[in-house]
Structure 1
Amino acid sequence: MNTTSMDAYRYFFPAGWVMAVWGVLLWILFPWNLVTYPGLHHPEIMSGGFFLCFVAGFLMTAAPKFTASFGPTKNEQRASLVLIGLLFASLIPGSKTFFYFTVTALFVFLITYMARRFLNRKNNPPDSFLFVGVGLGAGLVGSLTLLLGQFVNVPSELYQLARTFFLQAYVLCLVMGVGSRLIPALLGWAPLPTESSKYTPQIKLYSALAVAFLGSFVLEVLVQPLSGQILRALVMSFIVFKFWKLHHLPQRRAFQSWWLWGSAWMLLLGQWGTVAFLDFRVHLLHVILVSGLGLMTFMIATRVTLSHGKHDMIWEKNSKGLFLGALLMGFAGLTRLSAGFAPHIYQSHLVYAAYTWILGLIVWGWLFLPKMIRVKA
């Protein structure tokens, strides 16, 4: 089979980093009247740009190893670069039709890529990866419905469910699935994916958890918001305590492990916060997405970059730059939360949060983006 040795993270992660900067930079440019109101574009850029690029880079790099199958073919690599180009191009005219079309195409591409590895597998992926299939399916349904909504009248409740699938459900499902295998390993409580371990089939348990987790979004939008939030918090709590061992301090004494552990707590506390303070849901959602998922994304990307690039792992252990970058990213979500409690200075706190996030990304990028370009043999 015509394959290439260039791992997908090397082009998807830098693209995601740029999207993560641009999606938040809009809030800094807005007070200067340089862009339209960012609330119209910011969520889509972060979900369909930042998160989806990192998801693609991780899955396309990890799936061949988890399934003992083949890496990206040259045609798949070319398709990836075309999709990245289209994703950036879709931001220039601000056309949501073009954007949703590109994101939908990227979901189709990822699902096809994953299916080919699964069908040609020599090893079965972890049972928790059932969440990966559910997440990609939710993302495809969400983006496709939003795309159709540009041409036909989609019922309001269905449209809102599609937005929830696209902006929240797909990436949270992926984190629940991948995290259940990867996070305990990175915290030191389980063997690394490259190490052999005893395996206990739990496909039925993960199936029930995945149905309940995705169902929580349906319940939130179509039935009763608080009930959906409670169900999601319960499923999330079960997963992070049973599989991630979050109630234990990290066994690995590394900055990356500690910040990964902290981001997981922000994810959980933010979710329970939406249960306790439903009226502040939008603000608490930024704790989940920024201090939780955003920070977690970059901590996992740190390991992927160092490990697959064969760089010195000391960078994730005691790098002061990594510590500072992670601190700024985590603090950005809390700064954004404070905006909800101070309406009289709401706009200024959005700008403070944006500066904090971007500074964190600049520090992280200065350390790790060059390592994606230059890998060791």
Structure 2
Amino acid sequence: MTLRHDPWRVLFPLGVLLAWAGVLEWLLYAVGATAEYRAVFHATAQIQGFMTCLAVGFLYTFVPRRTAAAEPTHLQLAVAAAAPVAATLAALDGRVALAQALWGAGLLNVAVFVSRRVLGRAGLRGLPGVFVWVPAGLAAAVIGAVLVAVAAVLGPAEEPELWRLGRGLLLQGFLTALVVGVGGTMIPVLTRGPGAAAPAAGSASGRAAQTIAAALFLASFPLEAYLAPRAGLALRGVISGAVLVSEARLWRPPSIPGLHRWLIWSSAWLLPAGYLAAAAAPEPRSTALHVVFVGGFALMALSVSLHVALSHAGRPDALASSPWQVRAMAGLLLVALASRLLAGVDAARSRPWLGLASGAFLLATVAWGSLVGAAVRAAAKSREASA
């Protein structure tokens, strides 16, 4: 079985390693090993490293199977793996503009891969209309990277609105659009079985409606940066939530066994809830947005990647049960989210809360790796025995 066929085997573990690089920044600051908390590096490692690897690993695995198109080439896979690492290293060195250039080049590579398979007739026949959010998310990522690079060169203090706009598209728009596009397509299947799948092909009017919704969502970023911050956040939460709820039919809870299915379902609700919470209490805005980052993005990514890994490793027993690793991952991510929120609310004791949040998050990835690693090793042994 080649890596081109199962690109997640490279990208998922790489993403978790980059998560360690980003979250250790919290832990080192909390225990006093570093004097300051490098927010830009942390965000780069988490979103442009960890989350990008998991998202691209899923897209490279899912899109060819769903559209009956070609798998990624070795070059596309190599670029997808190298760009997040290079961007994280550049951000660690304080070279923000270079980090965006490297990461943007990698995302452009992914955008070409997805667009060629999704925007043709075969792709449109194989995917529902809500999947247009995926190209929209990739476009937001590339545009956001360009704007952040320009603002970094000019100076964030000189161009604060441009910096906020670029960072918003990069850290929020990119992954939210991917969650809506992929989640609207796959959450019914992952939580209620193949019979709950959306129609294989979306109508032209349905794709047009989703394109308008995605455009309104992207418009929330300049609205937030230049005119009305709370209105921008509220619009973001309303649009993403409305599309997710309607397309994934989120009012229906999971109906097949497997704890990770409940985690996927819960994360889909937490995503718009985080934006609405940030709109209701925008100071400090970054605190409430961690409901989006940890409860929406990280919980969704780890749970979906768990499903991908276990299903491809031939472990339906683990998918239909609640292994201790999944229970531990869920509990630890809850602790990480609660502690990160308390770090923003209880400023006098922010360091201990950040230390607890970072430790819990890192242990959650260990639990994830324990289950995924065991499944992959078992599958490898099974293939060797049958060879």
1:43 aligns with 2:47: no
Give, as a single letter, the amino acid of the residue that structure 2 aligns with 1:277. A
Q: Unpaired segments of 5 or more residues in structure 2? A: none
SS at match of 1:72: coil
Matches within 5 A, 1:101-112: 101-112=101-112
Q: CA deviation at 1:39?
A: 2.0
Corresponding residue for 1:97? 97
The TM-score, its normalising length taken from structure 1, stands at 0.90
> Does residue 63 of structure 1 match 2:48?
no
Show the counterpart of 2:168. Answer: 164
The answer to whether the aligner puts 1:86 opposite 2:68 as a matched pair is no
Contact 1:302–1:316 (CA under 8 A) maintained in structure 2: no
Q: Does structure 1 retain, via aligned residues, the 8 Å contact 2:44–2:88?
A: no
What is the rounded CA distance, in whole Å, between the counterparts of 1:4 and 1:28 in structure 2?
A: 34
Alpha-carbon distance change, 316 to 222 in structure 1, aligned in 2, over 3 angstroms: farther
Give the structure 2 partner of residue 28 of structure 1: 27
The match for 1:122 is 122
Percent sequence identity over aligned pairs: 27
Counterpart of 1:227 in structure 2: which amino acid? A
Contact 1:64 1:71 in 2 (8 A): yes
Q: Does 1:138 align with 2:140?
A: yes
Matched residue SS, 1:279: coil
Tell me the distance in 2 between the aligned counterparts of 1:205 and 1:227.
22
Matched, 1:284 2:293: no
Q: TM-score, normalised by structure 2?
A: 0.88
Q: Match for residue 179 of structure 2? A: 175
The CA deviation at 1:205 is: 1.7
Question: Contact 1:270–1:285 at 8 Å: present in 2 too?
Answer: yes
Whether contact under 8 Å (1:291, 1:331) holds in the other structure is no
How many Å apart are 1:27 and its aligned residue? 1.3
Cα gap change, 1:151/1:292 in structure 2, threshold over 3 Å: closer, same or farther?
A: closer
Question: Does 2:185 match 1:186?
Answer: no
Counterpart of 1:355 in structure 2 is 359
> CA offsets per residue over residues 1-37 of structure 1, 9 Å max, x none?
xx96442111111111011122111111123334752
CA distance in 1, matches of 2:200, 2:81: 38
Separation of aligned partners in 1, 2:221 and 2:85 = 31
Structure 1 Cα separation of the partners of residues 120 and 128 of structure 2: 16
Structure 1 residue 42, shift from structure 2 partner: 0.8
Instruction: Give CA deviations for 1:252-284 in whole Å, capped at 9, x if unaligned.
Output: 231011111222222232222122212242111
Letter in 2 for 1:308: H
Partner of 1:346: 350
Question: 87-96 or 335-344: which moved more?
Answer: 87-96
1:244-283 alignment runs, 5 A limit: 244-283=248-287
Q: Please, which runs of 5 or more residues in structure 1 have no aligned partner? A: none
Q: Distance in 2 between matches of 1:113 and 1:344?
A: 48
Quote the Cα distance in structure 1 between the aligned partners of 2:238 and 2:82.
40
1:197 Cα deviation from its structure 2 partner = 4.9
Aligned to 2:10: 11
1:205 is paired with a residue whose SS is: helix
Quote how far apart the aligned CAs of 1:147 are: 2.4
Larger mean CA deviation between 358-367 and 93-102 belongs to: 93-102
Is contact 1:90–1:98 with CA below 8 Å preserved after alignment?
Answer: yes
Q: Comparing both structures, which one devotes a greater share of its residues to helix?
A: 2
Letter in 2 for 1:148: V
Secondary structure at 1:318 match in 2: coil
* Contact 1:15-1:84 at 8 Å conserved across structures: no
CA distance in 2 between counterparts of 1:85 and 1:240 reads 31
Distance 1:78 1:270, change over 3 A: closer
Q: Please, which moves more after superposition, 332-341 or 90-99?
A: 90-99
- Supply the distance in 2 between the matched residues of 1:279 and 1:91 (Cα, whole angstroms): 26
Deviation at 1:371, TM superposition (A): 3.7
Q: Distance in 2 between matches of 1:261 and 1:60?
A: 23
The residue type paired with residue 207 of structure 1 is T
After superposition, the Cα gap between the structure-2 partners of 1:246 and 1:116, relative to the gap in structure 1 and judged at 3 Å, is closer
Question: Shift of residue 322 of structure 1?
Answer: 0.9
2:304 alignment partner in structure 1: 300
Offset, 1:312: 3.3
Rounded to whole Å, the distance in 2 between the matches of 1:145 and 1:231 is 22
Q: How far apart are 1:94 and its partner, in Å?
A: 4.1
